Structure 1
Amino acid sequence: MIKFNSKHLPELEFKNARKKPIVIQCYQMNEPFEVETLEGVLTGKKGDWLMVGIDGELYPCDQEIFDKTYNIVE
């Protein structure tokens, strides 16, 4: 089995890819929370986002990651 570590990127011919512009549902939480996800129970902090994925799955998203990845759709 090949193992990878983000501190040492492998010398592979990586391609560039852009996330598809898929609209999902999200809610900014006003208190700490736990959510049962496909990977197990994860926690979020006050200000993090509760996300509903394209298949209805729930997951938390850190505020900093949200700001880098998402724009609110009006």
Structure 2
Amino acid sequence: MPRYRAKPIEIEAAQWWVNGDHPEDGPTDHEGRIVRYFRHPGPDYAGDVLHEACNRIWHVHGWIDTLEGGHIVCPGDWIVTGLQGERYPVKPRIFTATYEPVEA
């Protein structure tokens, strides 16, 4: 099978921990424009229920709209801005395996 290598590209990224962490979100006491509050009715997402992927309560999660639809943002995820301005969350271990800082 043929093999391929990703072209080197530069991206912008900001690590998200709480509402307001993304530079375009605004103040932390308001809902962000990029990463919004996570809202999901029902007992499976109650405030004391843990998210299996990160082992944190649902109340501290965010939500981001992507080209593929909406995605949950866990505390510590990186918000990457792609080549066409699209944004998406990337888990920390994937981010560090895929990206490295760009020298000025």
Shorter chain as normaliser: what TM range? Answer: 0.7 to 0.9
TM-score with structure 2 length normalisation?
0.55
**Aligned-pair CA distance for 1:60:** 0.5
Distance 1:28 1:37 in 2: 17
Correspondence for 1:30: 17
Equivalent residue, structure 1, for 2:90: 61
* Structure 2: runs of 5+ lacking an equivalent: 19-60
Superimposed CA distance per residue, residues 10-29 of structure 1 (whole angstroms, 9 cap, x where no aligned partner): xxxx2111111100110011
Deviates more, 1:26-35 or 1:16-25: 26-35
| Correspondence 1:15 to 2:44 | no
Higher fraction of strand:
1
Aligned pair 1:40/2:69, yes or no?
A: yes
SS in 2 for 1:65: helix
Residue 50 of structure 1 is matched in structure 2 by 79
Work out the percentage of aligned pairs sharing the same amino acid: 39
TM-score (norm 1): 0.74
Q: Structure 1: which 5+ residue stretches go unaligned?
A: 1-13
Partner residue in 1 for 2:99: 70
- Which amino acid in 1 is paired with 2:72? T
Look up the equivalent residue of 1:15 and give its one-letter code: P
The Cα RMSD (Å) is 1.1
Q: State how many pairs are aligned.
A: 61
1:13-67, CA deviations, whole angstroms, 9 ceiling, x for partnerless residues? x211111110011001123321100111101211110010101111110111111
